[in-house]
């Protein structure tokens, strides 16, 4: 390619001209130059009608004489392109009311390549034809890996961008599901794990983790699957403060139940199950999925023993009793969790519930003892005149049967 512009539209926007950055580092990301180039690159084949381009670039902004404003924007863009090293005459053209880039410049856009790969995959009929299946899968995977995040993510406020982003998200979902189906047929668990990791990274908190979990289970990587399951639940809670969907949990649990551990000797199994941290002071810390299982087991045990149990939620708050922003939590979280751990009894269980909260399960105790534990935690956590405190909520664990 002698003269070409290569644009990344998925995730972070960038432009290269003949391999060199086309936009200066200090250029404001919301500049009219950027918006103009994004539109012209994205519609480089057919171009954009003048009235449509005015709507996309100027929109509802308070600008007089939109026709004149657009001509000024285009004129300044041409000047900027020359300063940035694009030595092509009449780089932005207007013919018969259509704005377009000079056809002498070859445009390479990831979004366009993504659509080509998807449409190519859709043309194949892979039924009972190995070569067609492989070719179809290759195109679906190419589309999946071209998608590196939402279309022009930093410009989602633009109406045309939001419309395109929605369309590409839908196609990406179709590609991932189709590719995953073909990988299952081939039992290519390594590639399925790679696909699941990629999908989870570029479209987080959309339940794509089930693909990774599936790949780990069916490739007999049970230790990794167990760790991945716990880490996934914790990350949902920690990073965005939500619990994964019921559908995702059900699938992950179902996959976990399919783990086929090899036949073992009881002594070896017991050794594997035994806690070896060496630090038995205070309560038992576990991931949220494990905490959930212990809670459910406690409920069952109460049917027989009749013992009391309490669930306590500890939350970091400021001096006004309000939740603290994540930027101010860093100095307190470690001491917050450690204060809880050493204040609990040996048989009590706790888990992190997001960045600023911990759940504690207290068994065989009374509500008065819950207050004693809260006082212990406060004595260890509160130092001097700090204006960060812990708010407590306690519910009795009630057995319904």
- DSSP string computed for 70-110: HHHHHHHHHHHHHHTT---TTSEEEETTEEEE-TTSEEEEH
* Residue where a domain terminates, one of 239, 256, 273: 256
* Banded model confidence at residue 109, pLDDT cuts 50, 70, 90: very high
Regarding whether 247 and 118 lie in a shared domain, the answer is yes
Rounded to the nearest 5 percent, the helix, strand and coil shares of the chain are 55, 15, 30
Residue 39's nearest CA partner among 20, 59, 24 is 59
Least confident of 64-73, 179-188, 195-204, 241-250: 241-250
Confidence at residue 21, expressed as pLDDT on a 0 to 100 scale: 85
203 φ/ψ sector (left φ>0, alpha ψ -120 to 50, else beta): beta
What domain range is 367 assigned to? 284-396
Where among 79, 109, 139 does a domain terminate? 109
Backbone torsion region of residue 100, taken as left when φ is above 0, otherwise alpha when ψ lies between -120 and 50, otherwise beta: beta
Rounded Cα distance between 334 and 379, Å, is 15
For residue 185, the SS3 value is helix
List pLDDT tens digits, range 180-206: 999 999 999 999 999 999 999 999 888
Who wins on pLDDT, 87 or 359? 359
Start-to-end Cα distance in the chain: 74
Could you give the number of structural domains in the chain? 3
pLDDT in tens, 299-324: 888 877 777 899 999 999 988 888 88
Sign of CA dihedral 359, 364, 370, 372: negative
Q: Does the residue 294 lie in any domain?
A: yes
Within-domain flag for 9:
yes
Question: For the segment 5-62, what is each residue's pLDDT rounded down to a tens digit?
Answer: 999 999 989 999 988 888 654 455 557 888 999 999 999 988 999 999 988 888 765 4
d(CA 390, CA 382): 9
Does the pLDDT at position 146 exceed 90? yes
Q: For position 300, what pLDDT does the model report?
A: 83
């Amino acid at each position: 390619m002698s003269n070409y512009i290569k644009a990344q539209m998925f995730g972070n926007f960038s432009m290269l001209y003949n391999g060199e950055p086309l936009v200066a580092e200090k250029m404001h990301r919301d500049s009219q130059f950027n918006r103009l180039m994004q539109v012209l690159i994205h519609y480089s084949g057919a171009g954009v009608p003048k009235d449509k381009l005015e709507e996309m670039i100027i929109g509802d902004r308070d600008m007089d004489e939109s026709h004149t404003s657009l001509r000024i924007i285009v004129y300044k863009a041409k000047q900027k392109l020359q300063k940035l090293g694009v030595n092509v005459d009449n780089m932005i053209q207007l013919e018969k009311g259509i704005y377009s880039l000079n056809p002498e410049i070859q445009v390479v856009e990831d979004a366009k390549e993504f659509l080509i790969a998807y449409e190519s995959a859709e043309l194949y009929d892979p039924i009972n034809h190995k070569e067609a299946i492989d070719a179809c899968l290759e195109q679906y995977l190419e589309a999946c890996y071209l998608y590196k995040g939402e279309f022009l993510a930093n410009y989602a406020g633009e109406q045309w961008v939001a419309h395109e982003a929605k369309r590409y998200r839908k196609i990406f979902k179709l590609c991932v599901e189709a590719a995953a189906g073909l990988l299952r047929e081939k039992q290519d668990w390594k590639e399925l794990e790679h696909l699941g990791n990629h999908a989870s990274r570029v479209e987080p908190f959309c339940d794509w983790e089930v693909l990774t979990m599936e790949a780990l289970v069916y490739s007999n990587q049970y230790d990794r699957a167990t760790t991945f399951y716990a880490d996934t639940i914790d990350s949902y809670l920690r990073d965005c403060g939500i619990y994964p969907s019921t559908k995702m949990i059900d699938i992950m649990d179902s996959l976990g139940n399919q783990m086929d551990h090899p036949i073992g000797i009881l002594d070896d199994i017991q050794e594997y199950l035994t806690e070896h941290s060496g630090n038995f002071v205070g309560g038992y810390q576990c991931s949220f999925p494990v905490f959930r299982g212990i809670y459910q087991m406690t409920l069952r045990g109460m049917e027989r023993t009749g013992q009391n149990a309490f669930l306590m939620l500890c939350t970091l708050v400021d001096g006004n009793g309000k939740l603290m922003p994540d930027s101010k939590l860093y100095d307190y979280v470690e001491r917050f969790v450690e204060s809880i751990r050493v204040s609990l009894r040996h048989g009590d269980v706790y888990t992190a519930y997001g960045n600023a909260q911990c759940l504690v399960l207290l068994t065989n105790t009374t509500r008065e003892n819950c207050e004693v534990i809260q006082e212990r935690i406060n004595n260890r956590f509160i130092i001097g005149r700090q204006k960060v405190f812990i708010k407590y909520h306690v519910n009795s664990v009630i057995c319904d049967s």
